[in-house]
Structure 1
Amino acid sequence: MLKGAVRIGRLGDDSGSATGSTLSSLLALSRAGSPAASPSRLSYSNFNGQHSTPNTIKTHRLPPTSSPLFKSFIVLLTFSISHHHHHHQLLLHPTSMASSMKASSTSGDTPKSSPSLQITEMPDIPNDFLCPILLDLMSDPVTTSTGMTYDRRSIEQWLKMGNSTCPITNEPFDPDDLIPNHAIRKMIQDWCVANRSRGIERIPSPRIPLSRLEASQILSNFTSSCQRRDSDSCKELTRRVRSLLKDSEKNRQCFMSSRAASVLAAAFRFWAAESIELCEEILATTICLFPIDDEAVFCGFESSDSLNSILQILKNGNISNRLNAVLMVKKMASVNKELARTMIKREGLVKEVVELIKEPISTQATKASLAVVFYFISSNETISTKLVEFGLLPAVLEITVDSDKSTTEKALAVLDGLCSCELGRDTACDHSLAIPVIVKKMFRVSDTATEFVVSTLRKLCENCRGRCLEECLQVGTLQKLVLLLQIGCGKSSKDKATQLLKLLSRCGKLDCVDTVDFKGLKRLP
C-alpha cells in the first residue's frame, strides 16, 4: 500500500461522485510519487530516501490519459508543485536545519563548538485543513455553492483553466459565489499558533477580494481625478489599482469586466504630453492587466503623444519601466500592420528596440523586443536594411547560440527576415559564425525553428557567389537536408529544402565535419 496523506472533499464525506473519486486517486498517486510535492507531509531530514507520511491512499481506477479530466488535473498538479516553494516557507521543518548542520559538520566545514539543536517532529495537519486540490494547508479557505471548501488560490486556478464545475461534486457553480470560510480559517490559525513551537508559522488573515462595484467605483474616481488634472490623486489611485491587481486573479477579473484597460489607455493619452512619471505608473498598471484586448490599444496608446511618451520611457526609464514599454510596443505591433508601420515611422523607436536586443536587460525584454522586430519586418520588409545598419544581425546570432526554445525561435525568425535584404545577406555571409550557428539549429529546437533555418539558408545560398554554399557543405547541410526530407516536414520547408539541395549539389561533394545532429534520429523506410 502506498504512503501519502490524501483526502478529497470534506472529512467523513465518502458520498462523492465518480469524478471526485477519480480525482482523489489521481492526485494521491501523483503526489505520492514525488517526494518534493507535499512539503507539509514529508520529513526533509531523512536523506536516505525514506519519507514519513502517516496516512494511506485509497486506490481507484485512473481515467484514460487522453481524457480531458486527466489533462486538466495534470495541469493542476504542475501548479501544485510550483506552489510547493511558497508553502515550504510557510511550514519550516526544523529537522531540515538539523540535518544540514549534521551533514556540514561531518565534512569538517563547521566549527567544533556548534550549538546543539532540538529535533522536533512535524505535526500532522488535520484533514479538514487541507485543500482538496493542492493537498496543502489552506491559507484562504472559501466555500462554493456546492458546499465544498477549497483554498482560494487553487479554486481560482481551476476556474482559470476553463472549468465551471466543482472538482469534487462535478456540479456547476458561480465563480462569484465563493464565500470566505472564516470559521475554518480561524481554526487553522489557532492550530498554527498551538504548534508554533514545532515549526509552524501562523497564516496571516487574507485580504477580502474586490467586488465589481468597488472596481467600477475606483475607476470612476480615477477618471474624475484625470478630468480635474489632479496628478497626485491619479498617481495614488493608479498604484492602488496595481496593488489590487497583484493581490488575486479575482481582482483582475473585476477590473477587466469594468473595462479598466480602456480607462487606463485613455488616461495615458491624457497625461502623455504633461507627465512622463504618471505615464510610467499608468503603463505599469496596464501591464498587470495583460493580456488586454485590441480596443484598449486604440483607446489611447496609438496616439502621437502616447508614442512619444513610450519612446521617452524606452530611452530614459529604469529597467522595469523599459520592460513595460517594450511589452506595450509588442502588443501594439501585433494588433495590425498599419499600426506597426506607424511605429516604424516614429523616429528613434526602432533604434531603442534594437538596443534592448544588443544590450539585454532581461530575458522577457529580449523576447518582447525580438517579437517587435519580427512584427516590424512582417509589416514592412524595407525596414530590414535599417535594422542591419543598426547592428542587429550579429546580436541576434549571438542570442541564437545558447538560448531557450522560445527565444531561439524568435531569433531565427528575425534572422530570416534580416536576410531578406541584400545588406543582411552580405552581413551574414561575412560573419564567420552565421552558417555554422544556423545549421546547428536545424534539428535542435522545433519544427518552427527548422522552417526558419531552411528559409534563411536558401536566401543566403541563392544570392551568394559560392562562399556560403561551400561553408554549408563543410558543416553538413547537405546530409541534414536529405535527412529532413526523409523524416518529413511541412510543404513550405520541403520546397525550400529541395531548392537548397539543388544548389548544394552543384558545388561538388565535401566531407561533413559535423555529424552530431544525426544521433538519435531514425530514418524512415
Structure 2
Amino acid sequence: MILSSRRRASRGGNNKSELLDGNLHMEITIPSHFQCPISLDLMKDPVTLSTGITYDRESIEKWIEAGNQTCPASNQVLMSLDQIPNHAIRRMIQAWCVENRSYGIERIPTPRIPVTQYEVSKICSRIAVSTQRGDHKSCRELVGRIKAWGKESDRNRRCVVNNGTGYQLSETFHSFASTVSFEKHVDLLKEILSVLAWTFPLGEEGQSKLGSATSLGGMVWLLKSGDLSARQNAVLVLKELLSLNQRYVDSLAKIEGVAEALVQMIREPICPKATKASLTTIYYMISPSATGVRFTSRFVELGLVPLILEILVDAEKGICERTLGVLAGICDSKEGREEAYKNALTMPFLSKKMLRISELATEFAVCILWKLCRKDKKDEGGVIVEALQAGAFQKLLVLLQVGCGESIKEKATELLKLLNVHRIRLDCVDPSMDFKYLKRPF
C-alpha cells in the first residue's frame, strides 16, 4: 500500500529531499505485514486468531459479528474466536510511524484492552450485591466503571449492552428510587441514567423495572431538576421506554408535573438531541387514547402550539419532522385546532414546509392542513381562505405531480376539492410562483 505525504522543508534550507523528488510529494509504502488482510489499511490494534494470522481488531470483529466462522485469509474454520493482542507487531508499527513522522505519518496510540463478557458479568453481579445491601457508594463506583468502558469504544458499548447490564441498572435504579431517602441517592440515579441512555434494549424484566411508577417518578423528578445533564439523560431514557409499550405512557401520565417538565425542555433547549427526545416523548403522550386526549389539552394550556411554531422557523430536519408530528397530534383535539387557528404562523409554515424538508415532514404538514380545513368546511371557510392565500393549493398540486403515498394522496385530493370551492373568491394563483426548477426532495 502506498501513502502520498507532503514533505516538510527544514528551516535550515537543506532541500535535498525535495530535489530528489522533484516536488513536495513523497510516496511511502506501508510494509505488507503492517496491513490488515481485510481492510488493507495500517493496523491500529493488531490481534492474532487461532490460525496464526494477524488482523486489525475492528475489521476482524466486524467479520465475526457478521456470522462468519472462518479465517478470512486462509478460509480455515476458527477453532476459537479469541483475539490475542499482537504486541510485537503493534510496537513495530509504532516504531515505523515514528521513523516516518517527517512525512506526516502519525504514531498510532497504544490501544486499550477491550472489556470482556466475563468482566461485564462480574461487575453486574457486584452491582446486584451492592444494591441488595443498599450500598450507594459502591454502586456509584461500579456504574462509573461501566460508563468509562462505554466511553472507550463502540466495541465496549456493544459488549456492555449484550450482557444484561441494562436489566441490572434498571433494577438498581428502581431500588434506590423507591427508598425514603430518595434525594440522598440522586447522584447515583443520575449516573445510572447516563448509562441507561445507551444500553437499550433492556429486555422484558429491565423494561418492567424501569417502567414502574417508582422509576418513572424518579425520572420525572430528575427531569424537573436544575441539572442539565440529568434532564437530558432522563428524557432520552423516557423516549426509548415509551416507544416500547403504551402502558408506560399511561403510567407516566399519572405522574404530576411531567407535561410542564417536557414543555420546559423545549422552551429552554439543552441540545438538539434533547429537544428531539422531548418532542418524541410528547408525541407518544398525545397518542389517540383517553390519556392522550387529556394530555393534549394540558399541553395546549401550557402554550405548546405557539412554542413549536416558533421552533419551525429555522429548525433542522429531525426537529422539524418531530415538531410537525406533535402539531398533527395536537390538531386531533378541538382545543388544539382552535389554538392552531388563532396563530398567524400556522398556514404560512404548513405551506412552506411542504415539499421542502422530507417525505415525512410533508406527510405531517398535509395531515395538519387536512384536519384544520376539514373541520372548517361547514363554517365560513376562514381557515380555507387563509390556506389559499398561503399558497397551499399550488403546493398540493405539485405534491400530486411528483408523487406521494396513497394515504397522503387521498388527503391532498380532498383538500384540493375543499380549497377549490373558495378559490373563485381569490386570485390565488401568484404569477411569481415558478415550479420549473422544483425538485422532489425525497
TM over 0.5: yes
Kindly provide the CA deviation profile for residues 384-430 of structure 1, in whole angstroms up to 9, marking residues without a partner as x. Answer: 22112111112222333333332222111111111112222222222
TM-score normalized by the length of structure 1: 0.72
Distance change (3 Å), C-alpha of 1:223 and 1:407: same
Of 320, 325, 329, 1:408 maps to 320
Of 91, 95, 118, 1:213 maps to 118
The equivalent residue for 2:20 is: none
The equivalent residue for 2:437 is: 519
Kindly provide the CA deviation profile for residues 479-515 of structure 1, in whole angstroms up to 9, marking residues without a partner as x. Answer: 2222323333222112211221121111123233473
Q: CA deviation at 1:294?
A: 4.5
Of 352, 357, 360, 1:440 maps to 352
User: Which stretch of structure 1 is more off in the superposition, 429-438 or 359-368?
Assistant: 429-438
Distance change (3 Å), C-alpha of 1:460 and 1:133: farther
Which SS does the other structure have where 1:142 is aligned?
Answer: strand
Q: CA deviation at 1:174?
A: 8.2
Aligned-CA RMSD value = 2.9
Of 360, 368, 374, 2:277 maps to 368
Q: CA deviation at 1:347?
A: 0.7
Q: CA deviation at 1:223?
A: 1.2
Of 341, 344, 352, 2:261 maps to 352
Q: CA deviation at 1:139?
A: 1.8
Q: CA deviation at 1:329?
A: 0.6
The equivalent residue for 1:23 is: none
User: Contact (CA 8 Å) 1:159, 1:175: kept in 2 or not?
Assistant: no
Of 299, 311, 315, 2:220 maps to 311
**Distance in 2 of aligned mates of 1:281 and 1:505:** 58
User: Contact (CA 8 Å) 2:286, 2:296: kept in 1 or not?
Assistant: yes
The equivalent residue for 2:153 is: 248
The equivalent residue for 2:61 is: 156
The equivalent residue for 1:139 is: 44
**Distance in 2 of aligned mates of 1:375 and 1:170:** 49
Q: CA deviation at 1:237?
A: 0.6
Distance change (3 Å), C-alpha of 1:517 and 1:442: farther
The equivalent residue for 2:251 is: 342
Count of equivalent residues: 417
User: Contact (CA 8 Å) 2:164, 2:202: kept in 1 or not?
Assistant: no
- 1:127 paired to 2:39: no
**Distance in 2 of aligned mates of 1:278 and 1:237:** 10
**Distance in 1 of aligned mates of 2:202 and 2:14:** 53
The equivalent residue for 1:265 is: 170
Q: CA deviation at 1:246?
A: 2.6
The equivalent residue for 1:469 is: 384
**Distance in 2 of aligned mates of 1:407 and 1:161:** 33
User: Contact (CA 8 Å) 2:213, 2:251: kept in 1 or not?
Assistant: no
Which SS does the other structure have where 2:423 is aligned?
Answer: coil
The equivalent residue for 1:426 is: 338
Alignment of 1:14-413 (within 5 A): 41-43=3-5, 124-145=29-50, 148-157=53-62, 176-196=81-101, 199-272=104-177, 273=179, 274=182, 275-298=185-208, 300-378=209-287, 379=289, 380-413=292-325
Distance change (3 Å), C-alpha of 1:480 and 1:161: farther
User: Contact (CA 8 Å) 1:476, 1:515: kept in 2 or not?
Assistant: no
- 1:493 paired to 2:405: no
Distance change (3 Å), C-alpha of 1:500 and 1:265: same
**Distance in 2 of aligned mates of 1:171 and 1:444:** 53
Which SS does the other structure have where 1:382 is aligned?
Answer: helix
User: Contact (CA 8 Å) 1:156, 1:249: kept in 2 or not?
Assistant: no
The equivalent residue for 1:16 is: none
For 2:336, the aligned partner's letter is G
Q: Which runs of 5+ in 1 are unaligned?
A: 7-40, 46-92, 99-114
Distance change (3 Å), C-alpha of 1:173 and 1:437: farther
Q: CA deviation at 1:193?
A: 3.5
**Distance in 2 of aligned mates of 1:172 and 1:317:** 56
User: Contact (CA 8 Å) 1:374, 1:413: kept in 2 or not?
Assistant: yes
**Distance in 2 of aligned mates of 1:302 and 1:500:** 41
**Distance in 2 of aligned mates of 1:430 and 1:321:** 36
Which SS does the other structure have where 2:47 is aligned?
Answer: strand
Q: CA deviation at 1:118?
A: 8.2
Which SS does the other structure have where 1:414 is aligned?
Answer: helix
The equivalent residue for 1:57 is: none
Distance change (3 Å), C-alpha of 1:501 and 1:197: closer
Taking every aligned residue pair, what percent have the same amino acid on both sides?
A: 43
Kindly provide the CA deviation profile for residues 43-75 of structure 1, in whole angstroms up to 9, marking residues without a partner as x. Answer: 4x5xxxxxxxxxxxxxxxxxxxxxxxxxxxxxx
For 2:92, the aligned partner's letter is M
Distance change (3 Å), C-alpha of 1:171 and 1:512: farther
The equivalent residue for 1:17 is: none
Q: CA deviation at 1:338?
A: 1.8
**Distance in 2 of aligned mates of 1:138 and 1:362:** 36
**Distance in 2 of aligned mates of 1:259 and 1:429:** 49
Kindly provide the CA deviation profile for residues 107-132 of structure 1, in whole angstroms up to 9, marking residues without a partner as x. Answer: xxxxxxxx889888775432332335
For 2:428, the aligned partner's letter is D
TM-score normalized by the length of structure 2: 0.84
Distance change (3 Å), C-alpha of 1:166 and 1:301: same
Q: Which runs of 5+ in 2 are unaligned?
A: 18-24
